[in-house]
Amino acid sequence: MPAEVPMARSRAEQFDDLVLDAVEDLERRWERELAGVEFAVEDVPWVEHTSPDEVVLDADVLDDGSVPLSRLLPAHREDGREVPPRIIVYRRPLELRAGDRDDLADLVRDVVVDQVAALLGRDPEEIDPTG
């Protein structure tokens, strides 16, 4: 009977792992500040879900008109309940900008750090001094 080969992880799953690694590293240092913050991965941004309350950062609307890499949705009330802040990382635009897996890992980390810095009102260098 042939040995079973583990299923290969899809590119989307590998990307999720990169985001999770970046978030876990930051949560170790900023555990209290990031408690309750939701992190999500979407394949591509959907411009039509932009609301007037949404925070628009440089990473959201790029000067050259290119596709955003991430988005920060601040905490807000919706239908009488508190909705926590949410950082969304867009997989396809980041994959297209990266030369290889190491470059993609660095880019994902930079984007997550930038969004956490914006959320916490701090400099990215303070959020991740190793970056």
Domain-located, residue 20? yes
Tell which wins on pLDDT, 66 or 2: 66
In a domain, 3, yes or no: no
The per-residue pLDDT of the chain, averaged, comes to 85
Residue 2 within a domain = no
Structural domain count, the chain: 1
Residue 52 has pLDDT above 50, yes or no: no
Are 91 and 12 in contact by the 8 Å Cβ rule? The answer is yes
- Find out whether 98 and 107 touch, Cβ atoms under 8 Å: yes
Note whether residue 37 is domain-resident.
yes
Torsion over CA: 115, 70, 35, 79 (sign)? positive
Helix, strand or coil, per DSSP, at residue 85 = coil
Tokens standing for residue 79: 């239908």
Dump pLDDT digits (tens) for 97-123.
Answer: 999 999 999 999 999 999 999 999 999
Check: CB of residue 73 under 8 Å from CB of residue 86. yes
pTM: 0.80
- Find the largest Cα–Cα distance for the chain: 60
- Residue 5 located in a structural domain: no
What value does the mean pLDDT take over residues 43-59? 57
Question: What CATH number did the domain enclosing 121 receive?
Answer: 3.30.2010.20
Indicate the length of the chain as a whole number. Answer: 131
In a domain, 4, yes or no: no
6 is a domain residue: no
Query: What's the domain range around 68?
Result: 11-127
Q: Is residue 81 included in any domain, yes or no?
A: yes
